[in-house]
Amino acid sequence: MGNTTNKVAWFVFAFLAIGVSLYPLMYIYYAFDDVEVGLRLSKNEELLGSIVWNTGFYGHVVFGGLALFVGWPQFSKRFRNTNLKRHRLIGKIYVGAVAVSGLCGFFIAVYATGGPIAQIGFLCLGVVWLYFTMMAYRAVKKGDVDKHQAYMIYSYAACFAAVTLRLWLPLLTIAFGSFIPAYRLVAWLCWVPNIIFAYFWVKRKGINLA
């Protein structure tokens, strides 16, 4: 029973990660037709017409999608043990994608819909994501595999905010009857529970990060 549950959980995890990682393709597709979709619908015309903001937006969603797409197989022991070189290569791709997406995320977070509450929430997410990714990279460079794995759990938990945001937002919009208050809450709810989950996962593995 436990093994079956783990397989189902792994399938759902992979399915959601892959599905949401392909979400940026929708933005790219409609961009050629000059049609606004998704979260871009909440932005004003001045922002949508800004080359700088659009560069930050597409940099964030495209490289964030790449990080989400390549990151989930890294948690498979079988994959790591039989494809160590690929694991390392994918890890480098992930770190690079996080760096670009995270830095772009800082910029567009300043313009987040919902005002300071949402802006601070997404800025904090960017800090957390970049910090844990950097610490994971430093740990593996020092040969500390246990700490590397622990920090990567935290890093991908932050990355997975892209998924949880899209799960929470429609439910909260229905609950509040309005997009703005839902978006303010989801700016925090999309990642804080993920980090709490990561904390207990790391604790269960018995890894000390002190």
Encode pLDDT of 169-209 as tens digits: 999 999 999 999 999 999 999 999 999 999 999 999 888 88
Task: Output DSSP code: residue 115.
Answer: S
Residue with tokens 């609950």: 175
What pTM was estimated for this model as a whole? 0.91
Do the beta carbons of residue 176 and residue 209 sit within 8 Å? no
- How many other C-beta atoms can be found within 10 angstroms of the C-beta atom of residue 108? 23
Alpha helices by DSSP H, listed for the chain, are 2-21, 24-31, 45-48, 51-71, 77-82, 84-109, 116-141, 145-159, 161-176, 179-189, 192-205
Tens of pLDDT, residues 146-159: 999 999 999 999 99
- How many other C-beta atoms can be found within 10 angstroms of the C-beta atom of residue 92? 11
Tens of pLDDT, residues 42-96: 888 888 888 999 999 999 999 999 999 999 898 888 888 888 889 999 999 999 9
Do the beta carbons of residue 23 and residue 61 sit within 8 Å? yes
Closest to 133 measured CA to CA, from 172, 163, 94, 105: 94
Q: Per residue in 141-166, is it b (16+ CB within 10 Å) or e — as a string?
A: eeeeeebbbbbbbbbbbbbbbbbbbb
